[in-house]
Every structure is written in structure tokens, then in C-alpha cells.
Amino acid sequence: MSSDLTGGMVFIGAPGAGKGTQAKLVVEAHDVLHISTGDMLREHRTAGTELGREAQVFMDRGDLVPDDVMIAMVAERIQRSDAAKAWILDGFPRTLPQAEALDASLSESGTELRHVISFQVPQDELVQRLTARWTCSKCGEIWNVVSKPPSQAGVCDGCQAELTQRADDRPEAVMARLEVYRTQTEPLLGYFRARGVLREIEANRSPELVQKSLLDQLGEPAL
């Protein structure tokens, strides 16, 4: 396994832009830790923790979970020993206070934020991608009624269990999430551009092509 990627990397993109898919592809081929705040929150929900119950209300309607909760969760995660190697933060920061808190905790621990990657996809494509996404209720496999349909509608090919739609992939929640991205997260691009760490990727292409330009960008030194 290659360990040529070092330091901290942040993936920013609207919901549906494919940052989680891209992070998983990087992790399959490189010795990098994938920290997805959406996945961490969903794990809390499944485990029925208090944090999970609190977060669910915000998540289901497409809103952001409050900054103090997210900042504490990520600060604790990146202090664990497995985060001493290179990591990708997928889905954090999403607001300016989160970005400032990340900067503060990284400078405290002496970790370098090497790259911030912005995945760019036109809004109408995002809506189509998100509302087409269905998940197997048993094995978690993700299907897409447009780009990766199951052989039988509503049923997982692998385990024959019923497919369900994430509450936050329903059309009303999707529109709310895109608006939250535009107003609260997009301003971070200017913040990181000014710091000289921002790289922008045209992500309205196949996952393989996006991965290729991503690795080209990550392999280069920061600007």
C-alpha cells in the first residue's frame, strides 16, 4: 500500500458531488484515514447515542448539526493515534467557525493542512444524483436508479433486501441541503483559496476520471 500522501486533506463539495466516493477510492489505494463526519453521525444514530438522537433532527431535514457538536467530535477524532498518518476529512468543515476551529486544532498539534479539494458539479446534476440514490436496508450497498439501477426495482441484487431512500435524499431535504451548502459552505472556498491550499476539480465526470485528476492534484506540492 502506497503511503505517498501525507498530512491533512479536506474534501469540500455540495451533497452528491462525490467526495465520499472519491475519498473511498483514495483510501483503497493509499495509506490514508478517511474521516467522514456524515458517516460518524450516522454511526451514532445507529448506535442510538444521545449525540445521534440530537443530530437526527437536523440531518433529516437537511440542516447542519450545530457547530459546537461537530467541532468537538472532529477535534476528538483527529487526536486519536490512527490520525497520526495522512487523513481525509470528508464533510468537515462546512461553516466558517468549523474551518477556524480546524485551523486552531491543527496548529496546536503541528499538523499541516496540505490540500483542500473542492469538487464542482452543476446544481441540476446534483439534484438528479441525490434523488436517484437508494440504499440496501440490509447490506448498505448504494444503488442509483439512473447510473447503477438494481435488476429489479426497489430490491438489492446482492441480498434481495428492500432498498430505502435516506430521509435526507428526499426532494425537499435535498433542496434544503443544497441551499445550506451555497450559503454556509461555499464561502469557505474563498477562505482556503486565500490560504493557497485550495484545488478545484471538475467532478461532473465518471468517478474514474475524477479520481485521476484528484490524484494528480494530491501528488503535487501545495501551491
Binding string, 136-175, against ligand AMP, x = CB under 6 A?
--------------------------------x-------
- 5, 9, 32, 64: which one binds ligand AMP (CB under 6 A): 64
Where are the extended beta strands (E) located within the chain?
8-13, 33-36, 87-90, 113-120, 133-136, 142-144, 163-164, 198-202
**Residue 8 interacting with ligand AMP (CB under 6 A):** no
* Grid cell 503535487 in the structure block, residue: 220
**Residue 10 interacting with ligand AMP (CB under 6 A):** no
- 8, 13, 18, 38: which one binds ligand AMP (CB under 6 A): 38
Smallest gap from residue 54 Cβ to ligand AMP (A): 11
**Residue 15 interacting with ligand AMP (CB under 6 A):** yes
Residue 5 or 181 having the CB closest to ligand AMP:
181
Name the residues annotated as catalytic: 19, 94, 133, 166, 177
Residue 69 or 155 having the CB closest to ligand AMP:
69
End-to-end CA, the chain: 26
Where are the extended beta strands (E) located within 151-193?
163-164
* Of 73, 90, 120, 112, nearest in space to 27 by CA: 90
DSSP string covering 49-85: -HHHHHHHHHHHTTPPPPHHHHHHHHHHHHHSGGGGS
Residue 13 or 150 having the CB closest to ligand AMP:
13
- 14, 41, 156, 210: which one binds ligand AMP (CB under 6 A): 41
* Of 58, 15, 56, nearest in space to 177 by CA: 15
Residue 67 or 155 having the CB closest to ligand AMP:
67
Q: Which residues make Cβ contacts (< 8 Å) with residue 144, sequence separation at least 6?
A: 129, 132, 133, 134
Residues making contact with ligand AMP (CB under 6 A):
15, 37-38, 41, 58-59, 62-65, 70, 91-92, 94, 98, 168, 177
